[in-house]
Amino acid sequence: MGRIRILPDQVANQIAAGEVVDRPASVVKELLENSLDAGANRIRVEVEAGGRRLIRIADDGHGMNRDDALLAFERHATSKLRTADDLLSIATLGFRGEALPSIASVARVTLETATGDEAAGTRLEIAGGKILHVDDAALPRGTTIAVGDLFFNTPARRKFLRAEATELAHVTALVTHYALAHPEKHFELLSATHTVVSAPPVTRTAERIYQIFGKDTLAQLLPVAAEIPLAHAGLPEPPPWKKDPDEPVRDPGNLRLTGFYSKPELQKLNRNSIYIFVNKRLIRDRLLMHAITEAYRNVIPPTSFPVVLLFLEMPPGEVDVNVHPAKTEVRFRQQSLIHDFVRDSLRTALIKARPAAGFLAALDNAPAASPSLMPPATSPLPGSPESEPFPPQPDSDPDAFQAVRRDAEPFELTPRLPAPVPGKLPFAANGFNPGGWGDRQAWGEAAAALFQPASLPPAGDCSPAAGDAAGTNPVAETALVEAEQAAANLNHLGSLRPLGQLRESFILATGEDGLWIIDQHVAHERVLFEKILRDRQIEKVQRQRLLMPMLVELKPWQMVVFARIAEELERNGFEVEPFGPQTLAVKAAPVGLEGTALERMLAEVIEQSSADSDEPKQNEDLAALRGRIAASIACHSAIKVNTPLDPVRMEWLLLELAKTSHPTSCPHGRPIALLYSWKEIQRAFHRI
Ligand SMILES: Nc1ncnc2c1ncn2[C@@H]1O[C@H](COP(=O)(O)OP(=O)(O)OP(=O)(O)O)[C@@H](O)[C@H]1O
Ligand SMILES: [Mg+2]
């Protein structure tokens, strides 16, 4: 007898479950996506014990008839796909026909579903992949799926589950982010003890952000929107001889980006605050992460990350979603086009908005970027490699650890969760109890009343505007308008009137908006940085010959780095020749750079460039190197602090700063100009 055997379905499903379901949040993700695919407008998620004991999701979608309900738990059973060709243009979140059988193989599941067209709905119980009961039941249109005792039959998996609060935090992050992608739908997340998320329908994403995170968060974010027509569809065209001449020319469609991005003053230590949705699917994607980082290059420090909510829409044929079992990764058919579109749209938005940093906000956001917008150890995607321990272990990176400790409090995108109190949902008498749920008394009344507005649970205190429908709530509306108007910008820098200097280091200036404080060194640094980059672009960098060549001693490894960047340095105005094995003779340098500043600048660039590996992406390295050289020259030749400036020079500096693309921050990411707004001043003096 041969050795090879076909695995029983049960085992195959458990293996598939290993890829799809690794924690309660991944169950919630699959069920939420199913509800959205079913066209639900209202989705209510309830969890007990962080989802380990119970996860229940109720939706008002199109439901299933009895046959479909039974089929749904079969492997590779899906209503979303028929032929292999359909795979090329998937418009639904699910398509693999794997989620329900996978979940059912590692938990006890009860499904209640009705289409509304038939006399009776269906109630189905299934445990460890085995169907226990199928009954008719009187149910409203929609589907409710309860998943209890997750991993009850796979103890090894169960062991990997984290504390209840952590699992709940993951679930919260997930629900929150799907709520962001669908402002027009009603989302609720309830734990046994309180309402964690309550987001009634609103018309705009800004309102949803306000609803979930509150006014302060909204005030730190700026909207972005861009759209381009695609020149051609991403799929390869059939060869001309195979083309049907009668076939109408297909419109390749548009590429659309909407979302929110943070002002440069708000910086994070990791990527956890960047959320990317492609056709409303939450994904992680290195390409787009890179595009976002590029957009913020030389606006925030290279070690910091912005907060970005990015919604990309494109024809389904432009993106392959079938690349990861948990559907959390995608592959774009026109990768570089999408990368550049995202980078350029964000950068243009930043240049246009030129958001001014408020004085008080800058104090709060001071250099130690807070660690993450997520609750402890959380990432929006199950098993995401981006998720980092919180707080970081002291031995891993002492500085980061200190920064986190110092700044652990402010600004969290996800509402902070109160400590979990052991308890059960009022309607599940004994935790998971498949038999008991047939009894409408036990939970059915609650479920029946689920979609009656009067049955809404009271809003929890952790959700700033929980329960507010921003569209109908005047307070929410006012806050929204205020937050949108509050974005003072730097467009009027050129018309400011300088009053004088503070300690010969900061320029004080007045304008319509209020009182401005401008850091003269970083302001000049930004002006020079952009000029150097421009001049370099057109090969017009001004150089000056030194009266005497300056000799610079380098260590052997520095000589190696120097050799690599010598050509770029030359194009930036340097004339350097070897003078012995470890000495360089600098004969000319960019205008404005001399003496020790010149020496320090060279050492700095060599030091920074030593980290560069021989990465394959040559162009990218070159752009980064140019940026570094320009930033370093600018920094070392800019006006220093403790330098007196006459009014003419101050005015000149403000005018020049106004002309730059990013007057918000210096190339290293420090703020340049802070505004004490007229409103803040009036408030501080109790005039309003
Ligand atoms: N909440 C729901 N409302 C209506 N139909 C549902 C719901 N959940 C699941 N279904 C039906 O059950 C089928 C199987 O669901 P399942 O999640 O296992 O697969 P899928 O969504 O098609 O693909 P994937 O495995 O990628 O999620 C779906 O195709 C859908 O027809
Ligand atoms: Mg699914």
Give dist(CA 507, CA 490) in Å, integer.
15
Point out the ligand 1 atom lying closest to the alpha carbon of residue 94.
26
**What was the pLDDT predicted at 560?**
87
485-494 average pLDDT score: 68
Note the pLDDT of residue 302. Answer: 82
Over range 645-659, report the average pLDDT: 93
pLDDT of residue 472: 42
pLDDT at 236 over 90: no
Percent of the chain with pLDDT over 90: 40
pLDDT digits (tens, 9 = 90+) for 366-390: 444 433 333 333 444 544 434 333 2
Contact 73, 100 (CB under 8 A): yes
Read off the pLDDT band of 478 (50, 70, 90). low
Which of 91-100, 248-257, 413-422 has the lowest average pLDDT? 413-422
What would the two tokens of residue 522 be?
Answer: 């970083």
Chain center to CA of 497: 39
Determine the Cα–Cα distance for residues 436 and 442; give it in Å rounded to an integer.
7
pLDDT for the residue numbered 84: 78
pLDDT score recorded for residue 284 = 85
Q: How far is the CA of 202 from the centre of ligand 1 (A)?
A: 26
Does the pLDDT value for residue 456 go beyond 70?
no
pLDDT at 450 over 50: no
pLDDT at 462 over 80: no
39: left (phi over 0), alpha (psi -120 to 50) or beta: left
Least confident of 216-225, 361-370, 413-422, 463-472: 463-472
Which pLDDT tens digit goes with each residue over 188-231?
Answer: 999 988 899 999 999 999 999 888 888 877 888 899 999 999 88
pLDDT reported for residue 238: 67
Higher pLDDT residue, 563 or 620?
Answer: 563
Q: What is the pLDDT of residue 46?
A: 96
Nearest-atom number in ligand 1 for the CA of 35 is 1
pLDDT the model gives residue 345: 95
Ligand (nearest to CA of 60): 1
Query: Using an 8 Å Cβ cutoff, are 157 and 14 in contact?
Result: no
Long-range pairs of 11-14 with CB within 8 A, sequence gap ≥ 24: 12/75, 13/75, 13/101, 13/102, 13/104, 13/105, 13/129, 14/102, 14/105, 14/106, 14/129, 14/154
pLDDT band, residue 488 (cuts 50/70/90) = low
Question: Ligand 2 mean position to 218 CA, how many Å?
Answer: 32
Helix (H) or strand (E) holding 148: strand 142-148
Report pLDDT digits (tens) over 148-186. Answer: 999 888 888 888 888 888 899 889 988 988 999 999 999
Ligand 2 center to 387 CA (angstroms): 24
Q: How confident is the model at residue 257 (pLDDT cuts 50, 70, 90)?
A: very high
Report, as an integer, the average pLDDT of 481-488. 52
Over residues 510-529, the mean pLDDT reads 93
| Average pLDDT of the residues of the chain | 79
3-class SS letters over 359-389: HHHHHHCCCCCECCCCCCCCCCCCCCCCCCC
| Cα gap 100→145, rounded to integer Å | 10
Residue 99, pLDDT > 70, answer: yes
pLDDT, residue 124, reads 95
Confidence band for 90, pLDDT divided at 50, 70 and 90: confident
* Mutate-to-test residue for ligand 1 from 32, 37, 92, highest number of ligand atoms within 8 A of CB: 37
Tell me the mean pLDDT in the region 391-419. Answer: 36
Query: CA–CA separation, 198 vs 212, rounded Å?
Result: 8
**Residue 274 — φ and ψ, nearest 5°?**
-110, 120
Q: Identify the pLDDT of residue 570.
A: 93
Confidence of residue 624 (pLDDT cuts 50, 70, 90): confident
Is 80 exceeded by the pLDDT of residue 353? yes
Comparing 85-89, 235-239, 364-368, which segment has the lowest mean pLDDT? Answer: 364-368
Please report the pLDDT score of residue 36 as a whole number.
96
Q: Nearest CA to 480 among 271, 147, 241, 208?
A: 208
Cβ atoms < 10 Å from Cβ of 362: 20
Query: Which pLDDT score is estimated for 459?
Result: 32
Please check whether residue 634 is in contact with residue 532, taking contact to mean a CB–CB distance below 8 angstroms: yes
Residues near ligand 1 with C-beta < 6 Å?
30, 34-35, 38, 59, 61-64, 72, 77-80, 94-100, 143
Residue partners of 338: CB distance under 8 A and separation at least 6 = 255, 287, 288, 291, 312, 314, 332
* Closest approach atom of ligand 1 to CA 92: 21
Most confident range, picked from 58-62, 85-89, 269-273, 512-516: 58-62
Q: What is the pLDDT of residue 153?
A: 86
> What are the tens digits of pLDDT across the range 311-344?
999 998 899 988 888 888 899 999 999 999 999 9
**pLDDT of 397 strictly over 80:** no
Question: Which atom of ligand 1 is found nearest the CA of 34?
Answer: 8
Q: Is the pLDDT of residue 399 over 70?
A: no
What does the pLDDT read at residue 612?
58
pTM above 0.75, yes or no: no
Q: What is the pLDDT of residues 117-133, one digit of tens each?
A: 888 999 999 998 888 99
Strands 274-278, 308-313: pairing is parallel
Q: What is the pLDDT of residue 404?
A: 33
Distance, CA of 29 to CA of 289 (rounded, Å): 22
- Look at ligand 1, atom 12, and give the residue with the nearest C-alpha: 72
Find the mean pLDDT for residues 419-426. Answer: 43
User: Residue 332: helix, strand or coil by DSSP?
Assistant: strand
